[in-house]
Amino acid sequence: MTLVLNKVSRSFDGVAAVKDVHLKVEKGEIVGLLGTSGCGKSTLLRTISGLDTGYDGVIEINEKTSKQVNEETGFIFQEPRLLPWLNVLENVMFGLEGKRAEKLDKANHILQSVGLAGKENLYPKELSGGMAQRVAIARSLVTSPEILLLDEPFSALDAFTKMQLQDFLLDVWKKYHTTMILVTHDIDEALYLCDRVVILRGQPGEIVEELKVEEARPRNRGSEQLAQLKSDILTALDLNKQSVY
């Protein structure tokens, strides 16, 4: 098991944000965390990454517990957070340690492997939103994280770019089999990408349901199976109301 959360709770100033979360994630799984605003999805992701250590309970990554920033994890935010004074290659090299030649080699390799060859010398202001987010993902992958934590990574993008980036993420997964935890508000995105969708509800947020998405990839975004799962998720979120009009 790559990741285990055992009875994880987090409060801020005595107010509970998440409560008694149990979650197990297998190596190479893509797991979606879905829930309405404020149910603690980002809080959970931050505790897993070690960016937030003020939680109760136990988090194990590869059977080790640590309340430090977990080097096994990479974090992708909603916005790319590239350094504007560095070009694409330098941004990807930024988080690496070691000799410059080795860093260059690794950064060039990852850029090549995720289809960004030829973009090395561009600066962030010259990139589209989608391209910048690809670079952010490459910057994270270059450190070979065991688990990629993605906090609404495509929510700032237009619908078409978003779909392209979802396919980009699946290409990355095919190459590296990186375990991924994806926080999203977008049910279609969760169903297109994830092996399993975990639904949180309430304040404090608690896991209320988990659904497996059995459909083989590449998935058909309009399939009946995904439509049925979407309906199940809306019901679990209490959003599948029949019209009374």
Residues that bind ligand ATP (CB under 6 A): 12, 17, 35, 37-43, 203
Least Å distance, CB 100 to ligand ATP, is 37
Least Å distance, CB 52 to ligand ATP, is 8
Cβ nearer to ligand ATP, comparing 113 with 203 = 203
Least Å distance, CB 208 to ligand ATP, is 13
How far is CA 233 from each of CA 36, 180, 215, 244, rounded to the nearest angstrom? Answer: 12, 20, 16, 21
Least Å distance, CB 61 to ligand ATP, is 20
Of residues 154, 156, 179, the one with CA closest to residue 164: 154
Cβ nearer to ligand ATP, comparing 57 with 119 = 57
Least Å distance, CB 17 to ligand ATP, is 3
> 142-181 burial, b if ≥16 CB within 10 A, otherwise e?
bbebbbbbbbbbbeebeeebbbebbebbbebbeebebbbb
Angstrom distance (rounded) from CA 74 to CA 105: 20
Q: Which residue has the tokens 């990479």?
A: 74
Least Å distance, CB 144 to ligand ATP, is 27
Cβ nearer to ligand ATP, comparing 37 with 243 = 37
Cβ nearer to ligand ATP, comparing 47 with 166 = 47
Cβ nearer to ligand ATP, comparing 12 with 112 = 12
| Phi and psi at residue 206, to the nearest 5° | -135, 155
Strands 64-65, 56-61: pairing kind: antiparallel
Assign 3-state DSSP to the chain and report helix, strand, coil percentages, each to 5.
Answer: 35, 25, 40
> Which of the 8 DSSP states describes residue 207?
E
Cβ nearer to ligand ATP, comparing 120 with 152 = 152
Q: Starting at the edge strand that comes first in sequence, how are the strands of the sheet with 56-61 ordered?
A: 15-25, 3-12, 56-61, 64-65
